[in-house]
Chain A
Amino acid sequence: MLAETFVAMPFLVITVEAGLRSMDRRYEDAAASLGARPWTVFRRVTVPLTAPALIAGAALAWARALGEFGATITFAGNIERRTQTTPLAVYNLLETDQSVAIALSLVLLAISIVVLVSLRDHWFGGLRDAAR
């Protein structure tokens, strides 16, 4: 878990940071002028306005953690049902039951495609905005 957090966290941080940067901070000024305390501003304005970046960052971090191999096997080992990630299971299965290993890797592939497709707008939308 800890190892995966270390590996995956930068994806979340970078995406959320970009989201915060692109947000118009004057919305927070508007909220303050309406009497909202800093915590209320954060909860009712900052978080909702950066929600797309938060969701995208979380999905990215989750996808990265799902496919984690190196850090897990180095620091947590490869104990079945406890520290074994899917790629580690694929690694094990490759030596015993190849067809299950292929099925499992196809599942991983499918998940990564779903994540990519569902986040397509977020990235390419961002590119379009930047090109404008």
Chain B
Amino acid sequence: MTLPADVGVGLGSLDLRVALDAADGQTIAVLGPNGAGKTTLLRALAGLVPLDAGVVRVDGEVMDDPAARAFVVPERRSVGVVFQDYLLFPHLSALDNVAFGLRSRGVTRAEARRRAHDWLARVGLDDRAAVKPSVLSGGQQQRVALARALVTEPRLLLLDEPLAALDAGTRAVLRRELRTHLATVGGARVLVTHDLLDAVALADRLVVLEHGRVAQTGTVQEVAQRPRSRYVADLVGVNLLPGKAAGVEVTLDGGGRVVTGDPVAGDVYVAIQPHSVSVHRARPEGSPRNVWGGRVKGIDLLGDRVRIHIDGEVAIVAEVTPAALADLGLHDDSELWASVKATEVDVYPR
């Protein structure tokens, strides 16, 4: 149960060119800003949008190949979809919603209802089988949508922002549940999200989509540690500074210089974790090789951490504790010094 796909779709202003690969039991998270083409990619995999170029195979079977004029209609693909706003049929009960896929595939009414009931029980909703979707809570609707997509045992499961419509508390619970359910079923999975937490919790690999192209791909750790675009860097909360390296010195494209631990050459990205940045009211003496003057542009509270956005020789974000912030007496427009040890600077080619 594998999915090698090479998707090319042109839709209005969107020009999508994405190569994707998912093995059996593997979940690929597709991450990207709004309008990057994430939903269109899923629709192309489901057969709801025909390809203009490329090929989609599931388990070696060609689903869509415009060059060979091959196209399998959505209802003949073994694909399950959890839509962003679930799209539960409003006129059918929760049970009939889940049974819909089985009935459509020719399973008898009694058998379909029995299997649908099993799945409702698995998602903890066997006592809500008879009610219409409109009286279910958001979390319950999501569970029904998941059961409806999984009851037919699809070889490919597509999840379009399955947790986006939920409030923060419910989202955490359902993220955990989703992880458990995905572990118990076979097939390849493609998860579209713009929440890094979803990707970390549910996916084995990450594909970052920007403007219809793959901007970066790798394991969650790889992508989080070495972002290759502003979008990913902001998402994982890392300072990303493009520049030109010569030896241990990098001249940044945005002005300023960074001294690194290891010598490199050519066009590089410099990644600095915000917690590696120290802030001082007076210019620090001694060991740090990178010291920049600047002003506070903004202060964000982030859980038990404070992020200070610094504008100056090098625009950078520092992360400190609230106590440290109070000690320093910093507020908007305060002058300060930021320092980073050369060994805390990660440099990699562009």
Contacts and interface: CB of A to CB of B under 8 A. Distances in A.
B77 to A, nearest CB: 8
B91 A31 contact: no
Nearest to B46: A33
B48 A36 contact: no
Interface in B32-59: 43, 46-48
A34 B101 contact: yes
A34 B104 contact: yes
Contacts of B149: 34
Nearest to B81: A33
B298 interface: no
Contacts, number: 60
Interface string A23-50: 0101101111111110010001100110
Pick from B74, B77, B83 the residue with the most CB of A within 10 Å.
B74
A45 B97 CA distance: 11
A51 B92 CA distance: 13
Interface string B99-115: 01100110000000000
A35 B48 contact: no
Interface residues of B, number: 24
A44 to B, nearest CB: 7
Nearest to B49: A29
Kindly state the interface size class of chain A when it binds its partner.
10 to 19
B234 interface: no
Given A26-B87, A37-B75, A44-B100, A32 B152 contact: no
B75 A48 contact: no
Interface in B63-112: 73-77, 79-81, 83, 87, 89-91, 100-101, 104-105
B104 A36 contact: yes
A37 B244 CA distance: 58
B83 A37 contact: no
A51 B73 CA distance: 27
A35 B104 contact: yes
Given A29-B48, A30-B81, A35 B105 contact: yes
A31 B48 contact: no
B148 interface: yes
Which applies to chain A's interface (DSSP): helix, strand, loop or mixed?
helix
Given A40-B104, A44-B100, A33 B91 contact: no
A50 to B, nearest CB: 10
Nearest to A37: B75
A48 B91 contact: yes
B80 A33 contact: yes
A30 B105 contact: no
Nearest to A49: B91
Contact of A34 (B43, B73, B152): B152
Nearest to B96: A44
Nearest to A51: B91
Nearest to B151: A34
Contacts of A35: 75-76, 101, 104-105, 152
B83 A34 contact: no
A33 B79 contact: yes
Contact of B73 (A32, A44, A48, A49): A32
B100 A34 contact: yes
Interface string B185-213: 00000000000000000000000000000
Contact of A45 (B79, B89, B101, B148): B89
Pick from A31, A37, A48 the residue with the most CB of B within 10 Å.
A31
B43 to A, nearest CB: 8
Contacts of A24: 87
B83 A30 contact: yes
15 contacts: A24-B87, A27-B89, A29-B43, A30-B87, A31-B104, A33-B47, A33-B48, A33-B74, A33-B75, A33-B77, A35-B75, A35-B152, A37-B104, A48-B91, A49-B90
Given A26-B83, A31-B104, A34-B104, 9 more contacts: A24-B87, A26-B87, A30-B81, A30-B87, A31-B89, A33-B47, A34-B75, A34-B101, A51-B91
Interface of B: 43, 46-48, 73-77, 79-81, 83, 87, 89-91, 100-101, 104-105, 148-149, 152
